[in-house]
Chain A
Amino acid sequence: MSIQEFLQHVANGTSLGSLYALIAIGYTLVYGILRLINFAHGDIFMLGAYITYYGIIYTPIPWWLVFILACVLTGLVGLTLEKLAYKPLRGQPRITILISAIGASFLLQNLGVLLFSGRPKAFPTPAILSRTLIIGGVSVSLISIIIPIVTIIILAILSFIIQKTKTGMAMRALSKDYEAASLMGIDINGVISFTFFIGSFLAAVGGIMWGIKYPQLIPLMGVMPGLKCFIAAVIGGIGNITGAVIGGFILGLGEIMLIAFLPSLTGYRDAFAFILLILILLIKPTGLMGEKIAEKV
């Protein structure tokens, strides 16, 4: 393998990892506060991509504005999902809420089939974004460079919100101690809605960039990325944003490198994430950055 090829793989892995990271953040935010695997998160990601598709094809709105509107709209869908599927079950056993989440995931997938049809659609990438650059003999698509940059910017904004704003403080309080936070007069419903909005917003950002990078939309496109990004969040330590980003990169780079160095294992690409998940759960169930929670007797 030449140096160029290797760099090519690194670039691919980095951009895939950034995408995983973006989606994983949504999982981690929700899990941090509700201790819930939002199974439908991958399908929210799918919705984000489809909403963008329809916005660009069927409206005269310029593409960059469609991107923003689609993210906001998807954020609102996520927020509504929480109100309909999870809020009525607050205080129920975790398994009950998890089942509702699985139901919601299937509902969105099949709504996707119903509304968008099962046939693949080609993502209408704006010409500006589909360019390819050649840097030091390595040809890199522009989007592969944009993705990590967008991820870093979003991460910075998110850290600011969580560390410096009042809502962010409420989010942190809620994830540390739900009971205490509710007693302290924190607007729990507001914070949870905000969390779902942000998580779904980021999923839509991921969905759009995914569409540009892999321009084929199908209603089930969210299933595998959804599962993998949950895995990324677990690897990093669920509930921890930095962990989700690290997990995303480990998974993205790992997958690309596995195929690059051991092409005979290409068929096992999707198994890689699951094997990694099971290993991490057995060795360090709290993930790389997670804290240990002691059980109370």
Chain B
Amino acid sequence: MLKIDKATMRFGGVVAVNQLNANIKEGETVGLIGPNGAGKTTVFNMVTGVYKPTEGKIIYNPDGKKDIDLTLLRPDQIAKVGICRTFQNIRLFKELSVMDNVFIGNHLRLKSDVFSSALRLPAYIKQEKEFMEKSKYLLEKVGLYEERDEKSFSLPYGKQRRLEIARALATDPKLLLLDEPAAGMNPQETQELMAFIADIKKEFKLTIFLIEHHMEVVMGICEKIYVLDHGVLIAEGNPSEIQNNPKVIEAYLGVE
């Protein structure tokens, strides 16, 4: 479904990601781990079009028909072909309500132009209703419906993370990128999150690519793991292979 082909990202003289190869199949949950500053978020930024890789290709093929080179698309176009993400440092629309945050996730499917929207023509009304229902459903799903009218910045941290996931789900993604979804969570919340990820994965037929520091999350739900250190891929494999890989232990697990 997603094939990262020798992707390299340079900032001035610094090589953040070097010749990365990775492959994600439909329906998989794939983890990306590595010490701080290994270039994990840079990989996400390349996949979602925030950065244009200096070299290499990122091929996306959601339905087995046509290959799409993501490096040629803008971030909004990438969202439209079914890739959506959350952010490590949470980027909600702070001043807007919880409901509006999720609603905006639907906007990319809006067919009416701005005038039909302002004149509230039937075609627009119909779609708006559909968006509202979908947003309501997603908010119930993540347990935030009661807080729908609160401003999103007033939510506690854990709820903000869940809201970000709900917002991403509103775009109808096929591939969901989660950047440290369990950051700042206690063990119990982490357990709940794992169950939640498994749940949405099944319900929305998602493929999931996630960055995480909590090893129990990565080892618990990922079928495949990539390990990055200083921008270089040092290992890939299933959880038990990774846990026993001496290079990984040296670069990462040993340190922690």
Contacts and interface: CB of A to CB of B under 8 A. Distances in A.
Determine whether A and B are in direct contact in the complex, meaning some CB atoms lie less than 8 angstroms apart. yes
Interface string B2-42: 00000000010000000000000000000000000000010
A294 B51 CA distance: 10
A114 interface: no
A297 interface: yes
B45 interface: yes
Interface string A268-297: 000000000000000000000000001001
B142 interface: no
Contacts of A294: 11
Closest 6 pairs (CB-CB, A-B): A297-B50, A297-B45, A294-B11, A297-B41, A297-B87, A297-B51
Contacts of B45: 297
Contacts of A297: 41, 45, 50-51, 87
B10 to A, nearest CB: 11
Contacts of B87: 297
A11 B51 CA distance: 48
A297 B85 CA distance: 13
A206 B17 CA distance: 50
6 contacts: A294-B11, A297-B41, A297-B45, A297-B50, A297-B51, A297-B87
Contacts of B50: 297
Contacts of B11: 294
A247 to B, nearest CB: 25
Interface in B181-221: none
A297 B11 CA distance: 14
Interface string B39-69: 0010001000011000000000000000000
Interface string A226-251: 00000000000000000000000000
Nearest to B91: A297
Nearest to B48: A297
A294 B87 CA distance: 18
A297 B91 CA distance: 10
B32 to A, nearest CB: 16
A297 B51 CA distance: 10
A95 to B, nearest CB: 14
B47 to A, nearest CB: 12
B138 to A, nearest CB: 24
Nearest to A294: B11
A294 B11 CA distance: 9
A57 B39 CA distance: 67
A293 to B, nearest CB: 12
A294 B45 CA distance: 13
A83 B214 CA distance: 47
A294 B41 CA distance: 15
A297 B41 CA distance: 9
Nearest to B41: A297
A176 to B, nearest CB: 15
A73 to B, nearest CB: 43
Nearest to B42: A297
A96 to B, nearest CB: 14
A12 B50 CA distance: 48
A114 to B, nearest CB: 39
Nearest to A295: B50
Contacts of B51: 297
A297 to B, nearest CB: 5
A297 B87 CA distance: 8
A294 B52 CA distance: 13
A297 B90 CA distance: 10
Contacts of B41: 297
Nearest to A296: B89
A29 to B, nearest CB: 26
Nearest to B12: A294
A252 B45 CA distance: 44
A297 B45 CA distance: 8
A215 B134 CA distance: 70
A294 B54 CA distance: 15
B41 to A, nearest CB: 7
Nearest to A292: B12
A135 B151 CA distance: 72
